Amino acid sequence: MAEFDVDLFVIGGGSGGVRAARIAANYGAKVMVAEEYRMGGTCVIRGCVPKKLFVIGSHVHQEIEDAAGFGWSIGQVSFDWATLVANKDKEIARLEGAYTTNVEKSGARIVKTRAVLDDAHTIRLATGEKVTAKYILIATGGAPNHGPAVPGIEHVISSNEAFHLKELPKRIVIQGGGYIALEFAGIFAGFGSDVSVIYRGDNILRGFDEDVRKHVRAEMEKRGITIITGCTVTKVDKHGRDFTAHLSGGSSIAADQVMFAIGRHPNVKGLGLEAAGVAINPANGGIQVDGWSKTSVDNIYAVGDVTHRTNLTPVAIREGHAFADTVFGKRPVQVDHATIPTAVFSQPEVGTVGLTEQEARAQFAHVDIYKADFRPIKATMSGRDTRVLMKLVVDGASDRVLGCHIVGDAAAEITQAVAIAVKMKATKADFDATIALHPTASEELVTMRTPTARHVRQAAE
């Protein structure tokens, strides 16, 4: 009789957990996956995928406006929110089915129920069944964080509810200044809502390059989005179907919806972590792990947003794959969390990889900046008042490109390709030696010859 019921028990059917389960099963492990909600996790069900579909849909209004400059005369158009939501739901259901099928094809078993740790090797299911496992992987992801409770917090929605609204709000107040807040600001504005963004910091996109932050804010404001910084929502009143968001500065804004997108917290509550001896990282509230994604308990691992390291779907997938390779494939793999490309599907779009100018200047004595801020070719005919930002951060001593930051159409698509060069430690000379692809916006990345700024830190006497 086997010592354990399964070789691997995965708690969470999102991107990281599913990848780990499939790879471990392919190595011959007996695997069970518990998911209490829907297979696919945050990204597929209520994150990246539905968000990107909404972003694409919200671009259409601008495309129609821009068409006139190219000779198109488009008659009266209309938009139906309910159709968008229904079609999105159909696509999400299709993807959920694909995730489920792929796990089952690998030989792993899925149980649609909540799972809690009883001890380091025992998992208790909500059905009452107990399962023993040689290894346990926690991949329960994260959830929206509403922050400190303010009066009327019960009237506030998160990104979860935003995907299922019965109707498009004519006016919406969004608190937050990061990925989710700005992406939904662009979505609702694109569909015609009056949007106000409230953020407590001095400017949106904290942690991004300063030029990116300024550029995105200016472009969003050009598109009619109100951005109020250095401020928070202190109270939300409900009057029938309407709301009033009271701000810390003393003013208030009337709205049909109030949404908070002020961050996410790891899903660690009620998992039985204490019973199993799994430690929480006091610095970020996620499960504490080492470079191999191992927790404080030798046979228990954690990947993805529940660790609160780098909360991006491809990172969770890479961590889940590396875990399975290491533990079941006997091929030790550590994930390199440096130089991870990321995108904000705001409007305009942001793509970035590597160091910001501020980070580079803190780490390197000589930093060269190459920057282009220009009107894209489409705008010369559409007449739209918009500009693109391209920026390279270079180590002046080694000539290595340390970072690339792009704001404009297709920024994410361009950045994915540039990320390969940055990961390979390409130099500015390598970029310069690459022939431009004309006419494109991205040709600026290989034609910028003169630094717009040079920062040389003098050695202490």
Cβ–Cβ under 8 Å, residues 291 and 307? no
Burial string for 385-407 (b: 16+ CB within 10 Å, else e) reads: ebbbbbbbbbbbeeebbbbbbbb
* pTM assigned to the model: 0.94
**Distance, CA of 304 to CA of 14 (rounded, Å):** 9
CA quadruple 79, 83, 89, 92: dihedral sign? negative
Count how many residues are written for the chain. Answer: 461
CA triplet 154, 163, 415: central angle to 5 degrees? 120
Burial of 28 (0-12, 13-18, 19+ CB in 10 A): exposed
Tell the residue number behind the tokens 């303010």, with chain if given: 150
Helix (H, G, I), strand (E, B) or coil at 215: helix
215 is catalytic: no
Cβ–Cβ under 8 Å, residues 243 and 251? no
What pLDDT does 41 receive? 87
**Distance, CA of 299 to CA of 309 (rounded, Å):** 20
Domains belonging to the chain, first-starting first, are: 6-144+265-327 (3.50.50.60), 153-262 (3.50.50.60), 348-456 (3.30.390.30)
- Catalytic, out of 146, 321, 438, 455: 438
C-alpha distances in Å from residue 114, one per residue of 40, 120, 130, 386: 15, 17, 12, 48
Task: Identify the bridge partners of residue 137 per DSSP, sorted by sequence position.
Answer: 10, 301
Write out the DSSP string of 73-108.
--------HHHHHHHHHHHHHHHHHHHHHHHHHHT-
Q: pLDDT tens, position by position, for the chain (461 residues)?
A: 479 999 999 999 999 999 999 999 999 999 999 999 999 988 888 899 999 999 999 999 999 999 999 999 999 999 999 999 999 999 999 999 999 999 999 999 999 999 999 999 999 999 899 999 999 999 999 988 877 889 999 999 999 999 999 999 999 999 999 999 999 999 999 999 999 999 999 999 999 999 999 999 999 999 999 999 999 999 999 998 899 999 998 999 999 999 999 988 999 999 999 999 999 999 999 999 999 999 999 999 999 999 999 999 999 999 999 999 999 999 999 999 999 999 999 999 999 999 999 999 999 999 999 999 999 999 999 999 999 999 999 999 999 999 999 999 999 999 999 999 999 999 999 999 999 999 999 999 999 999 999 999 876 44
Q: How confident is the model over 180-191, as pLDDT tens digits?
A: 999 999 999 999
Helix (H, G, I), strand (E, B) or coil at 164: coil
What pLDDT does 459 receive? 61
**Distance, CA of 36 to CA of 205 (rounded, Å):** 33
**Distance, CA of 441 to CA of 460 (rounded, Å):** 41
